[in-house]
Structure 1
Amino acid sequence: MPGSSGHVTVTRSTLRQQIADALRDEVLAGRLQPGQEFTVKEIAEQYGVSATPVREALVDLSAQGLLDADQHRGFRVHEYSGDDFRGMIEARSLVIDGMFHALADGHLAEVRPEEPRVAAALAGVRRRGEEAQRAALAGDVTVLIGYDLRFWRELVSVFGNPYLTDFLHRLRVQGWVYAVQHLRRLPDLRGRLWSEHTALVDALTRRDTDSARAIVEAYNAHSLSLVEGLTDGGTGKGPAQRSARQEPPAPGADTLP
């Protein structure tokens, strides 16, 4: 049965969303492992609520790709593969690159960093990035995930439309779901988690899409390198092993997700 905190009180007004959020956090924290099974009844008993909002929450998470429904056994946490992870990165890279092209070509003329509305939004995104950086440098992956997801969602909402924002957010959640189970195997995450959030915001504030694109491309390349090292049974030292023969990677290079 998921979770280890015992009975949890949930208000009636937002049961469906609160249960979905709580279970998503359990998956992102690695406490609910891929392939782990549970029933509506078990979750309802854990949260002390009726079966209806629990079933609705689980259906919502299934639609987001985090759970698989089994007609006879209930639900289980979806198991993503390395190929899935690579596909997620490829998909989000294509969308982000298209956003950068639109910004560089003037198709997002209404998004001007110097405008008060946009400037205020970017300042908020940057603050979120600063919190994510602190968590990354401290190796606190649980705190990082929360700020990182908010950072990317808010950043894309400034330069993209709501459909792109929701699509990329879902991909990032799924990417973290896959990555966190492997990251938890590393005894010390300090210096291994991506921490270039503010550099990306600063580049976009300057409308320097070349620098922004380079930051994202480096981020994705090193993410793949580390996750492949972890899933191959290593300790996530793919880039570090290379550094024994070459120059050390730049700070924040060994990153996920």
Structure 2
Amino acid sequence: MPGNSGTGAVTRSTLRQQIADALRDEVLAGRLQPGQECTVKEIAEQYGVSATPVREALVDLSAQGLLEADQHRGFRVREYSLDDLRAMIEARGLVTDGMFRLVAEGPKAFRRPDDPHIRTVLAGVRRRGEEAQRAAAAGDLTVLIGYDLRFWRELAALFGNPYLSDFLHRLRVQSWVCAVQHLRRRADLRGELWSGHTGLVDALAAGDAAAARAIVAAYNADSLALVERLAAGA
């Protein structure tokens, strides 16, 4: 019956997204290493589901740049180089510069940050930032990544362009995937990870695009320098 067919489609779509999210988290947690292979059969057995939503989830992750498809061996976690990370960070900077230019053009371009609703949303973003900062101070990389991704996704959504928000989110996921293989080599990351989230929110709430750019530029430079040191064995 049509009703049952629709319910089945929704359920499969939801399962597909859940599997994709779970596998992405496995990569970000370092439990799936760069170059590691995974097959539809293995993942389906691991999660106790049919092959179809697993295959669709793996294809989705390949499209997002987290996996690479191999016609004969299934999929493997994509291996990124330091040059890839440098390019990602450069791209992130170009996107955020464009966002912050809207702030400099005036309140209307930034979806009226003086509006009570926008202030409420900004407060929520700031809370995500506070959680991210606590995780960074504790050196808890897994918790930091989760809150950091939510922080940037919600912050980008304030600018009213879903394509920009999705593109920045994809870049941030990919750059984390690239960085974690190096960051997890250090047992104690306390004091090493960026914790400027609330300062960035405050700068944007005040309409200070120059300060926001400076915060992000310093963040990008420091993050890249840390990964480069770790990659060099320092």
Query: Would the TM-score normalized by the shorter structure come out above 0.5?
Result: yes
- Quote the Cα distance in structure 2 between the aligned partners of 1:110 and 1:91: 21
Matching residue's letter, 2:179:
A
Q: What is the aligned partner in structure 2 of residue 36 from structure 1?
A: 36
Q: Give percent identity, aligned residues only.
A: 78
- The offset of 1:67, in angstroms, is 0.3
The residue correspondences of 1:215-230 to structure 2 (distance < 5 A) are: 215-230=215-230
Work out the CA distance in 2 between the residues paired with 1:108 and 1:168: 22
Distance in 2 (CA, whole Å) between partners of 1:97 and 1:209 is 9
Aligned residue in 2 for 1:27: 27
Amino acid at match of 2:162: P
- Give 1:190 deviation, angstroms: 0.7
Q: Which has the higher contact order (CA 8 A, sep 6+)?
A: 2
Q: How does 1:159-198 map to 2 (within 5 A)?
A: 159-198=159-198
Structure 2: gaps of 5 or more residues:
1-10
Given that 2:129 and 2:147 are in contact with CA atoms closer than 8 Å, whether structure 1 keeps it comes out as yes
Describe the superposition over 1:84-143 as per-residue Cα deviations: whole angstroms up to 9, x where unpaired.
Answer: 100001011011111111220238436222201211110110011011111110110000
Q: Name the counterpart of 2:3.
A: none
- What SS is found at the alignment partner of 2:35? coil
Q: TM-score normalised to the size of structure 2? A: 0.92
Give distance in 1, aligned partners of 2:119 and 2:110: 12
- Cα distance in 2, alignment partners of residues 77 and 204 from structure 1: 36
Deviation string for 1:50-85 (max 9, x for gaps)? Answer: 111100000000000000000000000000110110
Shift of 1:223: 1.0
CA distance in 1, matches of 2:12, 2:98: 42
Give how far 1:212 is off: 0.8
Are 1:108 and 1:159, in contact at CA under 8 Å, matched by a contact in 2? no
C-alpha distance in structure 2 between counterparts of 1:66 and 1:172, whole Å: 12
Task: Check if 1:140 corresponds to 2:165.
Answer: no
Tell me the distance in 2 between the aligned counterparts of 1:41 and 1:166. 30
Structure with the higher fraction of residues in helix conformation: 2
Contact 1:137 1:190 (C-alpha < 8 Å) held by counterparts: yes
Q: What is aligned with 2:8?
A: none
The SS at the match of 1:192 is: coil
Aligned length: 224
In structure 2, the residue matched to 1:231 is 231
Aligned to 1:77: 77
What SS class does the counterpart of residue 76 from structure 1 fall into? strand
Equivalent-residue separation in structure 2 for 1:183 and 1:136 (angstroms):
12
User: 2-side partners of 1:170 and 1:48: how far apart?
Assistant: 28
Q: Give the equivalent residue in structure 1 for 2:129.
A: 129
Unmatched segments (≥5 aa) in structure 1: 1-10, 235-257
1:102 aligns with 2:102: yes
CA distance in 2, matches of 1:103, 1:201: 12
Partner of 2:18: 18
RMSD (Å), alpha carbons = 1.4
CA distance in 2, matches of 1:110, 1:68: 37
| Aligned amino acid, residue 116 of structure 2 | P
Q: Secondary structure at the match of 2:229?
A: helix
Structure 2 counterpart of 1:121, one-letter code: V
Q: Secondary structure at the match of 1:159?
A: coil
- 2:213 is aligned to 213
